[in-house]
């Protein structure tokens, strides 16, 4: 019982955890991929802008600027003016500047961009002076200066803020490398562009967690319900077994009682009825057959010979039925005679037809459909319900012939067959009674087939 109580909770927790983890992992992959794609798009655009802007710089003029150049120098102002126009025309570019490399140190040269108020005095900070050393230069800037190639950085933070920067080399008239032009993109724009993606991811994660809880709850409920059904089924099986044992005991006591009555002389023909009841009850326990090869036409002749003189039996067989079969001929003959007699009596008819057809074939047996029909004007009373087994509460209503029929039905079922009644009312004056048997019969044994045919 402890396992039944704890397993549903464990299964619910594991299943919901797996679902939440899997979907969140997939959502995170999508989110990360979206951010990467957006970041690459921004980097490509930024690198394209800085490369185009680098071609506008006069490298020969740029080499003339040094630490002694004044900020109001006409040449200096002429050099920074086009850079500032480019910065203003480029959306979200906060800084634009040039750098050179001397030894292992990075220095600022051109820097027209307005500065932030990092010192909090209410005035923009002074831009870096010409030849001011850049102490915390980004690794990508150093790489661009040393490799003299275009480079774009990942997000980084320095004393001017947090940026994504791109760097492109520029040259003098002879094509000699002079320095690199840098552009800093403020990450406020980048974060504003990824905010909808992050918001969608957070909403997805919340929904996934909620769905996971629902799945876990449903799993717990289903497992508890399955455990409840299992307990109920075990209880019902136990009750059924107890009931079966009780019925078997009652049946055995009834058989013992009938055996006593059968050995005691009775009046009004009661002994034959008791004996038939006894045979019926015993027939439901087991059916012993002595199988042998036999001819189907010989069987039909024997059945006709056993019918009452007042009853005419017409038999038709399918051409597909083999002439020799393997079964207990006596048992089969008894079944056919009982069914023909019973249906004739029920219909009050003196004409009965038996139609035998081959229905199915297995490796070692054939299944036959046997249909008994009788047409009459005076059906017998008391059996209009057409039972296939007796009701013990109505035992006094059944005749010896009725019990013989019930015994035959039980024998057919013991042989793996099926019995059913069919309704076939053609008009208001006559009533057709039709009884259908589906019965498997073994194929003949090769060694004895010739002897049976002879």
204: closest CA among 82, 34, 434, 449? 34
> How far apart are alpha carbons 399 and 338 in whole angstroms?
13
Residue ranges, CATH 3.30.565.10, the chain:
270-453
pLDDT by residue (tens digit) across 334-370? 899 888 888 888 777 788 889 999 888 888 888 888 8
Q: How many C-beta atoms lie closer than 10 Å to residue 283's C-beta?
A: 17
Q: Domain 2-193 is classified in which CATH homologous superfamily?
A: PAS domain (3.30.450.20)
Q: How many C-beta atoms lie closer than 10 Å to residue 231's C-beta?
A: 12
Q: How many C-beta atoms lie closer than 10 Å to residue 409's C-beta?
A: 25
The conformation of residue 133, written as its DSSP 8-state character, comes to B
DSSP states of 237-304: HHHHHHHHHHHHHHHHHHHHHHHHHHTS--STTHHHHHHHHHHHHHHTT------EEEEHHHHHHHHH
Q: Is 56 helix (H, G, I), strand (E, B) or coil?
A: coil
What pairs with residue 295 in β-bridges?
Answer: 324
For 304-334, b/e burial (b = at least 16 CB within 10 A) is beebeeebebebebeeeeeebbbbbbebbbb
> How far apart are alpha carbons 443 and 284 in whole angstroms?
25
Global confidence as pTM: 0.42
CATH class in words for 270-453: alpha beta
* Block mean pLDDT (10 aa), the chain, length 454: 53 71 74 76 88 91 88 88 88 88 90 70 66 86 92 81 88 92 82 73 75 77 79 83 75 68 59 68 62 88 86 86 87 88 81 89 85 67 62 71 84 87 56 79 65 49
Q: How many C-beta atoms lie closer than 10 Å to residue 338's C-beta?
A: 19
Residues 6+ apart with CB under 8 A from 124: 114, 115, 116, 117
pLDDT of residue 196: 77
Residue ranges, CATH 3.30.450.20, the chain:
2-193
> Taking the chain, what is the end-to-end CA distance rounded to the nearest angstrom?
69
pLDDT of residue 378: 47
Orientation of helix 187-262 relative to helix 270-283, angle to 10°: 150
Q: Is 1 helix (H, G, I), strand (E, B) or coil?
A: coil
Chain-centre distance of CA 193, in angstroms?
Answer: 40
pLDDT by residue (tens digit) across 40-91? 888 888 899 999 999 999 999 999 998 888 888 899 899 989 998 988 888 7
What pairs with residue 374 in β-bridges?
Answer: 352, 433
pLDDT of residue 384: 44
């Amino acid at each position: 019982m402890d396992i039944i109580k704890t397993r549903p909770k464990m299964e619910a927790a594991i299943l919901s955890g797996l679902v939440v983890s899997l979907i969140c992992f997939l959502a995170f992959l999508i989110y990360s991929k979206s951010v990467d794609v957006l970041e690459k798009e921004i980097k490509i655009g930024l690198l394209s802008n800085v490369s185009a802007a680098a071609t506008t710089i006069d490298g020969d003029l740029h080499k003339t600027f040094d630490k002694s150049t004044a900020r109001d120098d006409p040449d200096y102002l002429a050099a920074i003016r086009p850079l500032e126009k480019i910065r203003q025309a480029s959306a979200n570019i906060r800084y634009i500047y040039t750098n050179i490399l001397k030894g292992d140190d990075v220095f600022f040269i051109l820097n027209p961009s307005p500065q932030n108020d990092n010192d909090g005095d209410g005035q923009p900070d002074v831009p870096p002076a010409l030849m001011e050393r850049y102490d915390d230069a980004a690794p990508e800037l150093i790489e661009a200066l040393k490799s003299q190639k275009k480079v774009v950085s990942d997000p980084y933070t320095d004393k001017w803020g947090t940026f994504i920067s791109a760097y492109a080399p520029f040259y003098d008239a002879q094509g000699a490398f002079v320095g690199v032009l840098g552009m800093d993109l403020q990450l406020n724009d980048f974060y504003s562009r990824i905010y909808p993606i992050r918001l969608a991811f957070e909403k997805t994660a919340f929904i996934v967690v909620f769905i996971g809880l629902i799945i876990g709850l449903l799993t717990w409920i289903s497992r508890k319900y399955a455990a409840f059904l299992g307990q109920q089924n075990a209880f019902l099986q136990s009750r059924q077994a107890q009931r079966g044992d009780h019925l078997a005991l009652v049946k055995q006591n009834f058989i013992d009682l009938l055996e006593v009555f059968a050995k005691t002389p009775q009046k009004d023909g009661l002994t034959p009825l008791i004996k038939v009841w006894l045979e019926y009850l015993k027939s439901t326990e087991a059916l012993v057959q002595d199988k042998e090869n036999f001819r189907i036409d010989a069987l039909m002749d024997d059945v006709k010979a056993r019918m009452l003189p007042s009853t005419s039996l017409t038999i038709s067989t399918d051409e597909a039925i083999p002439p020799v079969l393997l079964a207990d001929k006596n048992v089969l003959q008894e079944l056919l005679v009982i069914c023909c007699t019973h249906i004739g009596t029920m219909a009050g008819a003196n004409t009965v037809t038996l139609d035998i057809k081959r229905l199915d074939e297995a490796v070692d047996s054939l299944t036959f459909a046997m249909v008994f029909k009788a047409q009459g004007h005076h059906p017998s009373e008391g059996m209009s319900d057409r039972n296939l087994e007796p009701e013990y509460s109505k035992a006094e209503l059944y005749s010896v012939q009725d019990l013989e029929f019930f015994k035959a039905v039980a024998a057919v079922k013991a042989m793996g067959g099926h019995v059913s009644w069919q309704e076939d009312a053609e008009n208001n004056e006559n009533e057709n009674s039709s009884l259908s048997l589906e019965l498997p019969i073994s194929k003949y044994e090769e060694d004895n087939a010739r002897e049976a045919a002879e």
